[in-house]
Amino acid sequence: MIHSMAGGRLGSYKTADFAKVKIIEGENEGAVTFYTCSHLNLLEGDVVLVSYGGADVEAKVLRIDKNVSSDRSPVPMARAKRIISKL
């Protein structure tokens, strides 16, 4: 609060939906990572196509986190990859 009272601006926050997914095929099978999924209507248990390790592979959605702010995102927003499609 002191920062804003001194004339500074609080950082502008972005929000996005994040899906925690588990890779279910290929050499990286079992790996768990996060992807943005704001453009899709996903549910836990859905199978999706993601880019991982230089290849497009299938993954299972373990969890969906809605409206995650940029200061609380599991991966930096600027580097977060998007889910390619729902299968």
**Contact (Cβ atoms closer than 8 angstroms) between residue 20 and residue 75:** no
Q: Is the pLDDT of residue 84 over 90?
A: yes
pLDDT tens-digit map of 71-80: 888 999 889 9
pLDDT tens-digit map of 23-70: 999 999 999 999 999 888 899 999 999 999 899 999 999 999 999 988
pLDDT tens-digit map of 3-15: 555 555 556 778 8
Q: What is the structure's pLDDT at 65?
A: 94
**Contact (Cβ atoms closer than 8 angstroms) between residue 32 and residue 20:** yes
